C-alpha cells in the first residue's frame, strides 16, 4: 500500500508533472494538456488544486479525475464517465472511503490505483457470511489501544480497560460504578488479523478494584495469539459512509487486533513480526521446566 503524504505535499501540485499553461482544452473535466503531449489530471479541494499526476492517454487522466471526485465529493459528484458503465460498485466506494484522500491521490499519481483496488477485491472474495468484502474494505474508526501489562496476561484472566475508554466506547453497564451488582455484558469483536474470527469477552465492572474489565474468553485470546506484556491490543468499530464520501461513526460492529512489540534476540517469541501470529504454542518457564501455554486452562 502506498504511504500517505502530508497535505502540504499532495495539495501543492508542484511536482515534475505540474501543468504548463494549456494551449488547448480537454473534452474531459479535470484534465489539462501537457507540453510533452501527455495529459494531466487535477481536482480542487477548498479552493486549492490537488494534482493527480500525468497520463499518456486523455481518457486515463479523466478516469483518475473520476476516482478523485468519488473520494472527494462522494457518489453524487460529477464525473466524466456517468451511466451504467461509470457507476462505481459498492466495493469500490468502500475501498475509497476506507482510505485517506491523500493516500488515494498518491495511488493515482503512482498509477497503482487499479492494482490496489483489484488486490483488495480479490482478497475479499469468499469472505463468508459477511459478504464479498474483506475487512480491508470495511471503513473502520479507531477507538483506543492499550499496551498490555503483566497482570493483563497473568492468571487473573482479565484485561483492565481504562475508565476513560470504557465509558466512552463500550456499552454502558447498568449502574456502572454506583452499582456493585451491575450485570456483565457480552461483547463480540472481529479479529482483523485472523480473517474476521469472532472473539467474545465478558465485559463487567469490578467494584472491588473500581475497574472495567474484559474477562471470560480473554485468556484464550491471549493464549492463541501469543500475547505477552508489552504487546498492544487495539480496538476499532465499523464506520458508515455518507453521500459525500466522508467516514462517520456507524453501526456497532467492533474489531480487535494486536501488534507485537519488538522482541530481544533472547526472547522465546519467534521473530519480530508486527502482527500477532495465528495460533501457535507459547512456552513458559515454571519451576525449572518448560510448559506449553496451551496446557494452562482459562
| pLDDT tens digits, 85-110 | 555 677 788 888 888 888 899 999 99
61-65, 136-140, 176-180, 190-194 — most confident range: 61-65
Q: Which of 3-12, 57-66, 67-76, 222-231 has the lowest mean pLDDT?
A: 3-12
Longest dimension (CA), the chain: 82
Cβ-in-10-Å burial (0-12, 13-18, 19+) of 238 comes to middle
Pairing of strands 247-259, 185-191: parallel
Q: Give the DSSP letter string of 149-187.
A: PTTTTSTT--EEEPHHHHHHHSPPPTTGGG-TTPPPEEE
Whether the per-residue pLDDT at 276 is higher than 60: the answer is: no
Domain boundary assignment for the chain = 31-124, 140-259
CA 68 to chain centre: 20
Confidence of residue 118 (pLDDT cuts 50, 70, 90): confident
Query: 136 pLDDT band (50/70/90 cuts)?
Result: low
Provide the pLDDT for residue 274. 45
Grid coordinates representing 171 are 456499552
pLDDT at residue 269 tops 80 = no
pLDDT band at 264 (very low <50, low <70, confident <90, very high): low
Superfamily, domain 31-124: AP2/ERF domain (3.30.730.10)
Q: Which of 96, 106, 104 is nearest to 15 (CA)?
A: 106
Residue holding cell 488479523? 193
Per CATH, 31-124 and 140-259 having the same topology is answered: no
Determine the Cα angle at 190 with ends 182 and 180, to 5°.
10
Residue 24 to residues 42, 53, 56, 57, 106: CA-CA distances in angstroms? 16, 18, 16, 15, 27
The candidate with the shortest Cα–Cα distance to 205, out of 239, 230, 164, 172, is: 172
pTM confidence score? 0.47
* Averaged pLDDT of the chain: 75
**Collapsed DSSP state (helix, strand, coil) of residue 97:** helix
10 Å CB burial of residue 158 (0-12, 13-18, 19+) is buried
Would the pLDDT of 83 be above 50? Answer: yes
Nine-digit cell string for 138: 470495511
The CATH classification of domain 140-259, taken from the options 3.40.50.1580, 2.60.120.260, 3.30.2310.20, 2.40.330.10: 2.40.330.10
Question: CB of 194 within 8 A of CB of 278?
Answer: yes
**pLDDT tens-digit readout, 199-237:** 889 999 998 889 999 999 999 999 999 999 999 999 988
3-state secondary structure of 136: helix
User: Strands across the sheet with 39-45, in order?
Assistant: 31-33, 39-45, 48-55
What gap in Å lies between CA 121 and CA 123, rounded to an integer? 6
Amino acid at each position: 500500500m502506498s504511504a500517505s503524504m502530508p497535505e502540504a505535499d499532495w495539495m501543492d501540485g508542484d511536482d515534475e508533472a505540474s501543468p504548463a499553461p494549456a494551449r488547448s482544452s480537454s473534452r474531459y473535466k479535470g484534465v489539462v494538456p501537457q507540453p510533452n503531449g501527455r495529459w494531466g489530471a487535477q481536482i480542487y479541494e477548498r479552493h486549492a488544486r490537488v494534482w493527480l499526476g500525468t497520463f499518456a492517454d486523455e481518457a486515463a487522466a479523466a478516469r483518475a479525475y473520476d476516482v478523485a471526485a468519488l473520494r472527494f465529493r462522494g457518489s453524487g459528484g460529477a464525473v466524466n464517465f456517468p451511466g451504467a458503465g461509470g457507476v462505481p460498485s459498492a466495493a469500490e466506494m468502500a475501498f475509497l472511503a476506507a482510505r485517506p484522500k491523500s493516500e488515494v491521490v498518491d495511488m493515482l499519481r503512482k498509477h497503482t490505483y487499479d492494482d490496489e483496488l483489484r488486490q483488495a477485491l480479490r482478497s475479499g472474495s469468499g469472505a463468508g457470511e459477511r459478504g464479498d468484502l474483506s475487512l480491508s474494505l470495511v471503513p473502520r474508526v479507531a477507538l483506543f489501544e492499550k499496551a498490555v501489562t503483566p497482570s493483563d496476561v497473568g492468571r487473573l484472566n482479565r484485561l483492565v480497560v481504562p475508565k476513560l475508554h470504557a465509558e466512552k466506547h463500550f456499552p454502558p453497564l447498568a449502574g456502572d460504578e454506583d452499582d456493585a451488582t451491575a450485570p456483565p455484558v457480552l461483547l463480540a469483536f472481529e479479529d482483523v488479523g485472523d480473517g474476521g474470527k469472532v472473539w467474545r469477552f465478558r465485559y463487567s465492572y469490578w467494584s472491588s478494584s473500581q475497574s472495567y474489565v474484559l474477562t471470560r474468553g480473554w485468556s484464550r485470546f491471549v493464549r492463541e495469539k501469543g500475547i505477552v506484556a508489552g504487546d498492544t491490543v487495539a480496538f476499532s468499530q465499523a464506520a458508515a459512509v455518507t453521500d459525500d464520501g466522508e467516514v462517520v461513526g456507524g453501526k456497532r460492529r467492533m474489531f480487535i487486533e494486536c501488534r507485537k512489540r519488538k522482541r530481544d534476540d533472547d526472547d522465546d517469541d519467534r521473530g519480530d513480526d508486527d502482527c500477532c501470529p495465528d495460533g501457535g504454542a507459547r512456552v513458559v518457564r515454571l519451576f525449572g521446566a518448560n510448559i506449553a501455554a496451551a496446557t494452562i486452562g482459562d
